[in-house]
């Protein structure tokens, strides 16, 4: 496939803040915008997920976002891609194929030359003799973003493209969706799992959440993950002493109903979730 490309890694320390704000703001607006080449572009988005989302099985707890701008006038495709829980990338592509289908590559983002993910911003210009990217604009759902790793060479996470203008606007002010202090169930205790509705729009596959532990007892940890998925090995929030408050902001994958699960590893704490 003939193409030229330009890419740069976002430093990891800055990427968390930049990506979170970028996703929140871009999803909130709609319509065409301008690509780095100066040409108008059409915004698309893909919510990436592993496990059963992949035809050959992917990273069971992997997820992420791909924000894609398509410029048909120049056959340029720009993407900002963020992933979690999949390790180092080996390749990143847009493929042709519907849900449950594995199709050929039409846009190759490659891999960064100075890093291995999980944040990458890149633009590529595709040879129109190989692929006319107007097809991405006309039928985005017929294409999917796929991120490959050494452990999952066929793809660790993937997601169909959809018009970004079809996304529901998010409230710029965080909304509290769960607070155990006001519930009869009270504090979470060791090995307890609670399922929480993030109250996201239908079709959204992940959200940016702040999980706070407060009135903690001794030391402990919590793990946040999509409801119905296996418990990940890594924790989301950790604390080391009693009567403390710790907050962590992270991407949280959700199930088809917009639900997450939170599992307490050890000791008790109140839990607050803001979206």
At 227, give phi and psi (nearest 5°).
-60, 135
Rg (C-alpha) for the chain, rounded Å, is 19
Tokens describing residue 105:
């590559």
Question: Strand, helix or coil at 209?
Answer: strand
Q: Look-up: residue for tokens 């205790």?
A: 189
Tokens describing residue 70:
């398509």
Q: What is the pLDDT of residue 202?
A: 60
Q: What is the pLDDT of residue 65?
A: 81
At 90, give phi and psi (nearest 5°).
-115, -35
| Portions of the chain given CATH number 2.60.120 | 176-274
- The count of other CB atoms within 10 Å of the CB of residue 116 is 14
Whether this prediction's pTM lies above 0.75 is answered by: no
CATH-assigned architecture of domain 3-166: Sandwich (2.60)
Ranges of residues in the chain whose predicted pLDDT is under 70: 1-39, 52, 111-120, 165-174, 201-203
Tokens describing residue 54:
């992949």
Q: What is the pLDDT of residue 119?
A: 65
Q: What is the pLDDT of residues 102-129, one digit of tens each?
A: 999 999 987 655 444 566 678 899 999 9
Q: What is the pLDDT of residue 33?
A: 43
- The C-alpha atoms of residue 253 and residue 208 are separated, in whole angstroms, by 9
| Portions of the chain given CATH number 2.60.40 | 3-166
Question: Strand, helix or coil at 52?
Answer: helix
At 73, give phi and psi (nearest 5°).
-65, -30
Class for the domain spanning 176-274: mainly beta
């Amino acid at each position: 496939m003939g193409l030229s490309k330009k890419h740069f890694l976002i430093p990891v320390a800055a990427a968390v803040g930049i990506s979170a704000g970028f996703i929140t703001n871009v999803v909130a607006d709609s319509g065409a915008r301008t690509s780095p080449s100066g040409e108008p572009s059409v915004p698309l988005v893909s919510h990436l997920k592993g496990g059963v989302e992949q035809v050959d099985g992917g990273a069971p707890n992997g997820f992420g976002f791909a924000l894609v701008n398509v410029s048909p006038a120049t056959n340029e495709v720009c993407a900002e891609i963020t992933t979690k829980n999949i390790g180092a990338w080996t390749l990143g592509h847009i493929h042709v194929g519907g849900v449950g289908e594995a199709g050929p590559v039409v846009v190759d983002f490659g891999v960064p030359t100075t890093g291995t993910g999980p944040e990458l911003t890149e633009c590529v210009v595709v040879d129109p003799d190989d692929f006319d990217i107007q097809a991405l604009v006309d039928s985005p759902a017929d294409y999917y973003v796929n991120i490959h790793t050494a452990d999952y060479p066929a793809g660790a996470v993937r997601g169909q493209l959809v018009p970004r203008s079809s996304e529901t606007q998010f409230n710029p002010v965080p909304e509290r969706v769960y607070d155990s202090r006001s519930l009869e169930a009270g504090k979470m205790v060791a090995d307890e799992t609670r399922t929480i509705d993030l109250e996201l729009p239908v079709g959204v596959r992940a959200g940016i959440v702040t999980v706070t532990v407060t009135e903690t007892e001794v030391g402990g940890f919590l793990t946040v993950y999509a409801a119905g998925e296996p418990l990940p090995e890594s924790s989301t929030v950790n604390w080391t002493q009693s009567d403390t408050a710790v907050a962590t902001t992270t991407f949280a994958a959700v199930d088809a109903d917009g639900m997450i699960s939170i599992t307490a590893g050890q000791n008790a704490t109140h839990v607050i979730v803001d979206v």
